Amino acid sequence: MQTDLPSTFFTAPPGFGWPIITYFFLGGIAAGALLLAGLLRLFGTAADRPYIRIASIVALVGAFISVIVLILDLSAPLRFWHMVIQNNTGRLMFKWWSPMSDGIWILTLFSFFALVAVLESLALEDRPRLRGLRFLSRAPFHAVGAIGGIVFGLALAGYTGVLLAVTNRPLWADSSWLGIVFLFSAVSTAIATLLLLSHWRNVDSAITNDWLARFDNVTLVLEFFAIVFFLISLGGAARALLNAWGVVLVLGVIVVGIILPLVIQRRPSHSVVLPAVLVLTGGLLLRMVIMLSSEQIHVSGVQVFR
Amino acid sequence: MGTRALPIVAPGTAQSTAKQEPMGFFTDTSICIGCKACEVACKEWNQLPARGDGGAHLEMSGQSYDNTLRLSGDTWRHVKFVEQFPQPYEGRWLMMSDVCKHCVQAPCLEVCPTGAIIRTEFDTVVIQSDTCNGCRDCIGACPFGVIDINHVSNTAQKCTLCYDRISVGLEPACSKACPTDSIQFGPISELRERAAARVVQLREQGESRAHLYGADPNGPLGGLNSFFLLVDEPEVYGLPREPKMPSRNLVPGSLLSTFGALVMAFVGALTLRASRMRDVARARREDAPRAD
């Protein structure tokens, strides 16, 4: 028995598998998309409206899928409402010091602002049936909707990493950097998704695409440094990554998902699709590495298996 | 140990209020004979299946005389067999009846998002099965790997310290069944005195490694209401030397994420503004010759 193992290695895995990986990935894209939509609503022009519509729809669909996946992942899914209402008193359930409780409310408010963003976007299309919603595009509703979307988009992007850090599991609880890593990754994957979908929908605007690529480059550099600081902060617990997951982290997440897209996007006339696909691949692999490398470590009797 | 006193239940959640003297277990591993009577008594009283599949398939560990292997949603007591055999005819077994530690500052209770985990009037920690929805946050938060999903109820479950028995003045099933009194139940203050005396006795008899794990109220997690006498390092029994509260990462993690969020918002806004300014400047340059 090794006596120098961090205390986190003596715990049991909670079984956060593919549903949670899916949520962290799609929820991150949705979160970043509402941030992008909010920024374009506040500082963009009429030419950005197709991008705002796509980003808002991505946010709303992502929120919907996230809610469904989270409910189905519960061992007792029909009791999902116990997260928001105390089943024995009927009062609201909220524990600010529990990131999972915070996350439920963040996702709820995020979904509201994503819906507002989609409705505002549709109302601006001059559809007769939705004329009644045009007030959403006027002050102060427009600014409140955009800022609310930015705030709850960023909150949704970052809280997931904090949730993992506020456990006692190897890797997750051995660092405080997971929240910021997931946040930067959420924004970069959302930019990639918006670039891909706008390309697919033929709404390519050179100016907006240029902004998205520049924003993506800064985000990818920040994500790279956040991952480096995360690995350094792990200390002795980093030994949990001295296996195939460590290789996936270096080659898949850092090289394929960060460095290659950065190199490609430095070329004057680069493809929109390739770097976006690489960034999305890296974002998914990041969540797989973080979740599954910790999940496979478990205590059994007196032995710690890895 | 840097633990902070966070409120441990959400305002308004149901919990017992008539506070009584803290009760718990003192498990003296030096006299455990590994009979597993405690495991059986626990399963019988709490109507727990032999295995998650109802006992239809008997699984053998293949690596130990212990085939239970670990605590789980349907095994709330587990007698660990630590087989220390450096040479074929030279060695010893250490036996330890493991159980929920009923931490004074309980990590599971701290993170539970539904209020299903409560502290009882006996200072023990109980999961209310009718409130738990199986989110499994408590499983990852427990520093000892105690909690697991019970596949009959589909909720997280663990030792209740026989809340139903001690509420009516009975002893928990496991300690009642223990033939050597390795598991002792009673008021924590009394158990601590008894445990300290036992450590002195063992050391006088030459067992210099005897020490208490979790008995110090100033130690990790504010002490454990189910504490142990060990005769080797905690890690040898599969116990963390320094169990920690999950909330140690709450403030630094949240602050770092907030900083990252501010950076993203500012970088996004500034790069978008710069992009629009460049666009306006380019349009002006293009318009200028036509104006001439």
Mean residue pLDDT of chain A comes to 92
If pLDDT is split at 50, 70 and 90, which confidence band does B286 have?
Answer: confident
Residues of A in contact with B271 (CB under 8 A): 211, 214-215, 218
Comparing CA positions, the residue from B136, B112, B138, B98 lying closest to residue B224 is B98
> Of A11, A106, A290, which to mutate for an interface test with B (greatest number of B Cβ within 10 Å)?
A11
pLDDT at B5 over 80: no
Cα end-to-end span (Å), chain B: 76
Residues, chain A: 306
**pLDDT score at B53:** 59
Question: What is the mean predicted confidence (pLDDT) over B133-146?
Answer: 96
Mean residue pLDDT of chain B comes to 89
Distance from CA of A250 to the nearest CA of B (A): 22
Question: What is the mean predicted confidence (pLDDT) over B131-139?
Answer: 97
Determine the residue of chain B that is closest to A147 in CA distance. B265
pTM of the entire predicted model: 0.91
- CB of B277 less than 8 A from some CB of A: no
Distance from CA of B114 to the nearest CA of A (A): 5
pLDDT at B220 over 60: yes
Q: How far apart are CA A204 and CA A72, in angstroms?
A: 37
Distance from CA of A132 to the nearest CA of B (A): 30
**Enclosing H/E stretch for B232:** none
**pLDDT score at B63:** 76
| B contact residues 72-131, partner A, Cβ 8 Å cutoff | 78, 80-82, 107, 110-116, 128, 130-131
* Helical axes A273-295 vs A18-43, angle rounded to 10°: 140
List the single range of A18-32, A117-131, A220-234, A244-258 with lowest mean pLDDT.
Answer: A117-131
If pLDDT is split at 50, 70 and 90, which confidence band does A137 have?
Answer: confident
Looking at domain B23-244, its CATH class is alpha beta
High-pLDDT (> 70) share of chain B, %: 90
- CB of B250 less than 8 A from some CB of A: yes
Residues of A in contact with B66 (CB under 8 A): 301
User: Are A158 and B261 an interchain contact pair (Cβ–Cβ within 8 Å)?
Assistant: yes
Q: How far apart are CA A212 and CA A227, in angstroms?
A: 22
Go through the domains of chain A in sequence order and give each one's CATH number: 7-305 (1.20.1630.10)
Comparing CA positions, the residue from A165, A155, A51, A82 lying closest to residue A112 is A155
Q: Which position has the higher pLDDT, B163 or B57?
A: B163
Considering only CB atoms, B143 lies closest to which of A7, A13, A35, namely A7
pLDDT per residue as tens digits for the range B266-282: 999 999 998 888 888 88
| B contact residues 38-67, partner A, Cβ 8 Å cutoff | 61, 64, 66
**pLDDT score at A193:** 97
pLDDT at B214 over 50: yes
pLDDT per residue as tens digits for the range A217-275: 999 999 999 999 999 999 989 988 999 999 999 999 999 999 999 999 888 777 889 99
**pLDDT score at B80:** 93
If pLDDT is split at 50, 70 and 90, which confidence band does B291 have?
Answer: very low
Considering only CB atoms, B244 lies closest to which of A7, A74, A187, namely A7
- CB of B143 less than 8 A from some CB of A: yes
List the single range of A16-20, A207-211, B27-31 with lowest mean pLDDT.
Answer: A207-211
Domain ranges within chain B, ordered by starting residue:
23-244, 249-285
Residues of A in contact with B239 (CB under 8 A): 10
Determine the residue of chain B that is closest to A223 in CA distance. B260
**pLDDT score at B39:** 96
| B contact residues 227-246, partner A, Cβ 8 Å cutoff | 233, 235-244, 246
Q: How far apart are CA A181 and CA A157, in angstroms?
A: 10
Q: How far apart are CA B193 and CA A119, in angstroms?
A: 68
**pLDDT score at B3:** 42
- CB of B286 less than 8 A from some CB of A: no
3-state SS, residue A259: helix
pLDDT at B29 over 80: yes
If pLDDT is split at 50, 70 and 90, which confidence band does A306 have?
Answer: very low
